[in-house]
Structure 1
Amino acid sequence: MDTLRYTEPEPNSRPISASRSIAYGLERIGLVSLRFPWLVGLATVVLLIAGAFGIARIKVDDSLSQLFRSETPEFRTFEEVTRRFPSNEFDVLIVVEGKDLLVRDSVEKLRDLVTDLQLIEGTRGIISLFSAREPPKGTDLPAPLFPDQLPAGAEYDRLVQRVLNNEIIRGKLLSEDGQLTLIVLALDPDVVASSRLRDVIGEVQKTIDNDLAGSRLTARLSGVPVMQLEIRNAVERDRLLYNAFGFAAGALIAILFFRRLSFMFIGAGPPLIAIVLALGALGWLDFRLNMFLNVMTPLIMVISFSDSMQLTFAARDRLLQGEGRLEAFRNAMLVVGPACVLTHVTAGLSFIALQFSESDLIRTFGEAGLVATLIAMFAVLMLVPLLGVLLVRNEAMFVAEVRGADSALDVLRRFCFWVAARMVSRPGLYSLLGVLVVGGLGLVYANLQPRYRLADQVPDREQAVAASHRLDAKLNGANPIDILIKVPDGKSLYDPETLAVIAEVHATLDKQPGIANVWSLETLRRWLAEKLGKSDVATLKQYVDILPEYLTRRFISAEQDAVLVSGRVPDVDSSQLLPVIEGLDKALDAVRTKHPSYKIAVTGLSAIAARNSALMINKLNRGLTLEFLFVAAFIGLAFRSFVVMLASILPGIFPIVLSGLVLWILGEGLQFASVVALTVSFGLGLSATIHFLNRLRHEERPDEDPAVAVERATVLVGPPLILTSIVLACGLIVTVFSGLPSLRLFGWLSAFAMLAALAADLLILRPTVTFLGRLAQRVGGKPFYR
């Protein structure tokens, strides 16, 4: 067993020529560093400086709609509504709750709070309990529901009853039990789009804390600006966490692995430099951090660390065999380098597969991942030999110190040999079991259902999600659902037919189960008809004109050629919300038929998510299925072997379908984060497969049982594959500390898939390649690589 270490390749396993390299000679760019080390080193320093400036340029994209941003008609309608009726995008929702909410002292504090909130710089209007009015008397304007001087005793009790029964605020701004109220604070759009948002939200929170001090009321903030700020804070915090952990983990494992500071820098230095260069490039290319791009740091570490360690490990073994440092790193590059190129290319193909998504966010993540993968590949190929020739000194002393001190690695070698020996003892049986297991898991995976909730994009340990949940419980929904009505040419806003369309759409939305808090111009019209007994257009127009502009823009466009009817829906899974949206759309067909010249469209982020999330997730999943076959064919083409193509399929699929079983057990279903994680993990998980097959290519002999070559290759590449897979899983699992649910899912699922890929490599690939190798020898009379 002790003889199964890396040795000088025999004639039939020498480093092969560029024409037969699985990377077609691309790995030879790493030899430039051996010939011009100081020039390459200087170029690296310059690029690192440029990368640092690029990182400083990275900004955060905190838009809640970016996941569904696309060129579809539905999204263009949503963008039109956002542009012409921008209220929802700039509303801070203040949820105040308490059993004493309508007690006189509490109402006084609430009114003081509403007054003070309007004085904060950057706000432009507010809607609250105190916006409600008494029924108008004669021609006088209606008086406020809450008088300037609050009554006491029985008169106050009667006021509370009038408040609880007020049609304008009941169920919309005040819960039925009178224990929760909603204050809607409109912010200036320029504030929401700038760095001032943090200061304004902080001032809002400070005002709430001061004005409600001493009361038994609690207040939480929600709404798009608050969610955006929480996303922004979480992304920035996560970036610091991932960067720090990535640097620390890479350095620590490398020094424990190689037990020398110089080899720590050789093994961990290129991945860490690749992180700086890749993030810097993303900054210069104006990529913006979001819930997916924020995981780029650990992904770059995953992409590059395994290959860097394989190269360093191979060069180290050659040094122990007596080669000089130039020769050792040159031969390591020629033997292991092709596999490094191929692993990066397969990872890049996974990111390219994301380009077929309809989501702008996911396509951007794929583009960024492809850029990072290419940078990581060149960083590893160029910097491992560079650092090797610069840092390794006195090879004879190194050999004397290290020889005999590799007890931990020897344990791993023995373990790898033990696994390989058993896997090749009955390759046909184990291959059949692999097919059955993967097939069974595939059936479970095929039955996973798409899942999506808007709250998964927002930090769930902050106040915004908690406040939204209270609105879902008490006011029947926190998320807006809108119906856009476009007035045709030749018709005006106050045309009888236009008002009739608004009334019919309002009634339809109001009757739809699952939708509450319906607001529109019809709300004001009904109130005037009931309280004032007037339904004429002149009176309606008079009251619209006296309302503040920020309020009328919520349901009437500035050009008065479009109106909005809005309701609220709870934040539930899209599969539950879709029947509601489809039922509403179908019910509106009667209005569309009756008034064909009016464009009536159901929109809003909730509607877009309900309609598109399942389709987008299923399309990503189909792309992943096609990627299996495409990448397997690509590997077979690179190795110039049909047998290799077949051998790579099962170990490539196994981590995906096993992860699907875990998702099924946990009841998670397929989410955007999980499909993207599995797509990326498929490409990354093939690293172990490619490195093993590349080594097997060097170890096979013309007249030898393939099982012997499998055992020998396993012992040579197994230890670094095991260690790096564990390190990479740890690098991904750090995302469980993120405040974003989608990133936590992405992290732990990717880490699990990486470990599952290692298990597949040891337990499925070994017997499969042995079985197919023997079959190829019997059929063709020669090793399947030749």
Structure 2
Amino acid sequence: MKNTIQVGFWEKLARIILKNRITILVILSALTIFLGYQWKNLSMTYTEANLLPKEHIANKEYQKFLDKFGEEGNLVVIGFQDKNFFTPKNYAAWNELMTGLKKSKEVDLVVSLNDLKKLEKDTVNEKFILTPFIDQSKVLDPAYLKSVQNDLFHNLPFYEGLLFNKESGSVRSAIYINKKLVNTAERKTFILENLVPKINKFEKTTGIDLKVSGMPYIRTINANDMKGEIGLFIGAALLTVSLIFFFFFRSFRATFISICILIVGVIWSFGTLGLFGYKITILTAIIPPLIIVIGITNCIFLINKYQQEIKLHNNQAKALQRVISKIGVSTLMTNLTTAIGFATFMITGNDLLFEFGLVTSINVISVYLLTLFIVPIIYSFMALPKEKHLYHLTKTYISTLLNVVENLVKTKRKFVYIVYGLLLVFSVIGVSQMKVSGSLIGEMPKSASFFKDILFYEKEFNGVMPLEIMIDTKKKKGVMKASTIRKMDELQNTIAEIPELAKPVSIVNLVKYSKQAFYNGNPEYYQLPTSQEQTFILSYAKNATKNSKENLMKAYVDSTGQYARITTFMKDIGTDEMAKVEKKLHSKIDEIFPKDRYEVTVTGKALVFQKGTSYLVDNLIESLIFAILTIAVLILYLFRSFKMVMASVITNILPLCITSGLMGYFGIPLKPSTILVFSIAFGISVDNAIQFMAKYRHDLLQSGGKVKKSVFSALRETGISTFYTSVVLILGFATFTLSSFSGTIALGGLISCTLAFAMFANLVVLPSLVLTFEKKKTRKEELENLEK
């Protein structure tokens, strides 16, 4: 009874579609115009990806830090390593560059050699005063500039690690962007239209190669590169799938219809992003090409079925009705499984993945409906396909391939299972070698100029990834107590000993510099005051903080004096290494800061991202299991057979295992981009299994329960579509390897690899498992045949 209702529904839907062709086309056109209009709401993201849910403890700690000290990722550094810098010509160009940046409304503070201040003692007023380090009236004297160079490297330990590397002679300046603008479009305008042209002018004038880094700069250039790649992905995906489609079908009109459907799908996907008000991120940027690659498979199934029907009976009306009624239900199920694969990202608790999962799953179903409506309607207006358009159905290489597959399934199932088992063992060994790696810059293009600059800063200044330690003394003005300063200094000494971290900066540095200034700038006195010195030196130091515009240290103690921060920078290290660093820090913190008197938090963008990666691995493994179970329930509902569920799931688990194993062997770590592969690939690869099962079930009913006959007839009919769609998907996802982003390359390459193994599994392993699971029935059939 249920089957009758199902068939009736699809036949009725076919009649509705074919009777209301013009109305449906008008509705689809109006919807396309509406979604196209939503493009006005599209814009690039200006913040880093936060992989943790808002309620996660690491996010709460980071937000508490931001509430006290504001945005910490607002530093841009400009540096160089050139022994010829200290000349009048080069210094003048540097002065012009830094002065121009300081005047920009987007810049809060510039700490640079040309405008450097040194702390001096004012004995009359009993305070420290900030005086210019360089006498601008003497900068045309080469000898004076050489003395400045010597003075900087030998007499100002306060700025060592912050503005220069004493050993290598590298120098840099620090530009602090307005915290209110750092996560807005104004940051992009400043970087691309103000900062970059000024840097180019300096390099052209002096011949000195400037190294530019810092999160605002990296994010801006990265987003600009990502924006440029969206068009590349869409163009490459369209070109690839259309060429392959034409190669298989040898029909210009079939190819043109498919391309039109895919272009509308792209308009809808961008329109959905705009409608929901979502930003374009590194993930949502790949949705349109994903829709192209996934959408073409619907076109292949429907057009291939239409041409098969025409070849069978040459009746267009009957063929179009069967395309909808027979293929409509199976393609619905395949698109549902694909959509489920993407929808599982919505349960990770992460906003970025939620948006990606929601928009992609909606558009997978949308492009399915689009294909289901447009293909039959457009073909209903056209003449019957010519013989040359149907020739591909009988191509020799396809027949040869299917003959080989059929022979393997018929006579060599044990061999198939042995190969399956060996591949599984091979995969398990590889999986044991997999590692987890989370890096804020790890997904960025290695070929980009800013990436080389990052390596420069890692070598010269131990990195540019901010790591923050916030100390709550639980008392107002508790930071300036001598005991607190000593504890902070002890912690900073530990940080300085960790090779992955840069020299830390905090109020401690200013206190040490205050003692040096008190003793007339003698660098030997750059240390904490003794108990006898601290009273009058600290009082001098407090007066030095009054000019907030020029005081760099204002950002390291909050207005109440209760909270202090220690800022350091870290190299681009992996998750495991970061865990070790964090353990060292927490061990020292617990040792020197009593928990009843202090609350110390280790946070920062880089650390939050690292924790986000580990969180993502755990949750996406859960979401993959959820996807497998959900799809299994869907298959169970469709076929009412646990054996068929087991056959489909076992078949499509193997490709995931092989890909995991290859990742282990080739040292490809689990990271945000590669974790996505498994849910996406499983949702797509199981589609061919459902197509086969649907045809097998149909033929089983038609043949009166003859298993062998049904298996091989289903293999013959769906084998062509399985081969076509697999090749298109493999090469379609391979276009992602054109990206300069390592994460996108890994995503495309690994999904292509998984789908290649899935093609083998669905063509060979699945029919073999069905025959094995139905062994009793097949033996009975063989006995009946012998009796006849």
TM-score by shorter chain over 0.5: yes
| Structure 1 portions without partners, runs of 5+ | 1-14
Q: Give CA deviations for 1:595-633 in whole Å, capped at 9, x if unaligned.
A: 524321000122223344224313323432453344234
SS at match of 1:566: strand
Inter-partner Cα distance in structure 2 for 1:331 and 1:213: 69
In structure 1, what is the equivalent of residue 436 of structure 2? 450
1:95 counterpart = 2:82: no
In structure 2, what is the equivalent of residue 9 of structure 1? none
Q: Give CA deviations for 1:173-229 in whole Å, capped at 9, x if unaligned.
A: 112334322211122345434433333213212212223434342113221221221
In structure 1, what is the equivalent of residue 526 of structure 2? none
Inter-partner Cα distance in structure 2 for 1:778 and 1:19: 34
In structure 1, what is the equivalent of residue 525 of structure 2? none
Aligned counterpart in structure 2 of residue 120 of structure 1, from 69, 83, 104: 104
Mapped contact 2:38–2:271 kept (Cα < 8 A): yes
Q: What amino acid is the match of 2:632?
A: A
1:486 counterpart = 2:487: no
Inter-partner Cα distance in structure 1 for 2:551 and 2:712: 74
In structure 2, what is the equivalent of residue 738 of structure 1? 739
CA 1:28–1:526 in structure 2 vs 1: closer, same or farther (change >3 Å)? farther
In structure 1, what is the equivalent of residue 530 of structure 2? none
SS at match of 1:146: coil
Inter-partner Cα distance in structure 2 for 1:351 and 1:624: 10
Mapped contact 2:466–2:570 kept (Cα < 8 A): yes
1:160 counterpart = 2:142: no
Mapped contact 2:506–2:566 kept (Cα < 8 A): yes
SS at match of 2:556: coil
In structure 1, what is the equivalent of residue 450 of structure 2? 464
Inter-partner Cα distance in structure 2 for 1:752 and 1:32: 41
Inter-partner Cα distance in structure 2 for 1:278 and 1:556: 47
| Structure 2 portions without partners, runs of 5+ | 520-532
SS at match of 1:596: coil
Aligned counterpart in structure 2 of residue 211 of structure 1, from 202, 205, 208: 202
Inter-partner Cα distance in structure 2 for 1:27 and 1:443: 50
Mapped contact 2:477–2:561 kept (Cα < 8 A): no
By how many angstroms is 1:446 displaced? 4.6
Inter-partner Cα distance in structure 2 for 1:287 and 1:167: 47
Inter-partner Cα distance in structure 1 for 2:57 and 2:435: 25
CA 1:252–1:55 in structure 2 vs 1: closer, same or farther (change >3 Å)? farther
By how many angstroms is 1:569 displaced? 1.2
Inter-partner Cα distance in structure 1 for 2:543 and 2:703: 95
SS at match of 1:63: coil
Deviates more, 1:691-700 or 1:515-524: 691-700
By how many angstroms is 1:155 displaced? 5.9
Mapped contact 1:97–1:180 kept (Cα < 8 A): yes
Please, what TM-score do these two structures have when normalized by structure 2? 0.89
Deviates more, 1:621-630 or 1:573-582: 621-630
1:686-697 equivalences in 2 (<5 Å): 686-697=686-697
In structure 2, what is the equivalent of residue 144 of structure 1? 132
By how many angstroms is 1:647 displaced? 0.9
Aligned counterpart in structure 1 of residue 362 of structure 2, from 371, 375, 381: 371
* Structure 1 stretches of at least 4 aligned residues deviating more than 6 Å after TM superposition: 779-783
Q: Give CA deviations for 1:478-532 in whole Å, capped at 9, x if unaligned.
A: 2111111234255555455654554454444345453222101111011112331
Inter-partner Cα distance in structure 2 for 1:288 and 1:172: 35
1:142-291 equivalences in 2 (<5 Å): 142-148=130-136, 149-150=138-139, 156-165=145-154, 166-201=156-191, 202-291=193-282
Inter-partner Cα distance in structure 2 for 1:34 and 1:726: 31
1:322-361 equivalences in 2 (<5 Å): 322-361=313-352
Mapped contact 1:428–1:767 kept (Cα < 8 A): no
Aligned residues: 761
Inter-partner Cα distance in structure 1 for 2:342 and 2:725: 22
SS at match of 1:95: strand
SS at match of 2:468: strand
By how many angstroms is 1:38 displaced? 0.8
Inter-partner Cα distance in structure 1 for 2:232 and 2:406: 38
By how many angstroms is 1:313 displaced? 0.7
CA 1:549–1:333 in structure 2 vs 1: closer, same or farther (change >3 Å)? farther
In structure 1, what is the equivalent of residue 20 of structure 2? 36
Mapped contact 2:405–2:763 kept (Cα < 8 A): yes
By how many angstroms is 1:48 displaced? 0.9
Q: What amino acid is the match of 2:699?
A: E
SS at match of 1:198: helix
Q: What amino acid is the match of 1:772?
A: F
Inter-partner Cα distance in structure 2 for 1:492 and 1:31: 79
1:355-754 equivalences in 2 (<5 Å): 355-390=346-381, 392-393=382-383, 395=384, 398-399=385-386, 402=389, 405-406=391-392, 409-488=395-474, 491=477, 493-495=479-481, 499=485, 502-533=488-519, 535-536=534-535, 537-548=538-549, 551-558=552-559, 560-593=561-594, 596-700=596-700, 702=703, 706-754=707-755
Inter-partner Cα distance in structure 2 for 1:26 and 1:446: 47
Mapped contact 2:61–2:603 kept (Cα < 8 A): yes
SS at match of 1:66: coil
CA 1:367–1:133 in structure 2 vs 1: closer, same or farther (change >3 Å)? same
CA 1:407–1:513 in structure 2 vs 1: closer, same or farther (change >3 Å)? closer
Mapped contact 2:215–2:465 kept (Cα < 8 A): no
Inter-partner Cα distance in structure 1 for 2:615 and 2:111: 37
Mapped contact 1:482–1:566 kept (Cα < 8 A): yes
Mapped contact 1:426–1:767 kept (Cα < 8 A): no
Q: What amino acid is the match of 2:509?
A: T
Inter-partner Cα distance in structure 2 for 1:656 and 1:632: 16
Q: What amino acid is the match of 2:728?
A: V
Inter-partner Cα distance in structure 1 for 2:281 and 2:183: 15
Inter-partner Cα distance in structure 1 for 2:159 and 2:129: 19
By how many angstroms is 1:376 displaced? 2.2
CA 1:406–1:727 in structure 2 vs 1: closer, same or farther (change >3 Å)? closer
By how many angstroms is 1:72 displaced? 0.7
Mapped contact 2:433–2:665 kept (Cα < 8 A): no
Inter-partner Cα distance in structure 2 for 1:738 and 1:144: 48
Inter-partner Cα distance in structure 2 for 1:781 and 1:72: 61
SS at match of 1:545: coil
Deviates more, 1:188-197 or 1:34-43: 188-197
How large is the Cα RMSD of the aligned pairs?
3.0
Aligned counterpart in structure 1 of residue 289 of structure 2, from 292, 298, 309: 298
1:54 counterpart = 2:55: no
Inter-partner Cα distance in structure 1 for 2:63 and 2:11: 47
By how many angstroms is 1:638 displaced? 1.8
CA 1:217–1:30 in structure 2 vs 1: closer, same or farther (change >3 Å)? farther
Mapped contact 2:39–2:271 kept (Cα < 8 A): yes
Q: What amino acid is the match of 1:684?
A: I
CA 1:521–1:153 in structure 2 vs 1: closer, same or farther (change >3 Å)? same
Mapped contact 2:506–2:553 kept (Cα < 8 A): no
By how many angstroms is 1:342 displaced? 0.9
SS at match of 1:321: helix
Q: Give CA deviations for 1:432-455 in whole Å, capped at 9, x if unaligned.
A: 542442344134225412112221
In structure 2, what is the equivalent of residue 8 of structure 1? none
Inter-partner Cα distance in structure 2 for 1:725 and 1:734: 14
Deviates more, 1:576-585 or 1:631-640: 631-640
Please, what TM-score do these two structures have when normalized by structure 1? 0.89
Inter-partner Cα distance in structure 2 for 1:656 and 1:782: 39
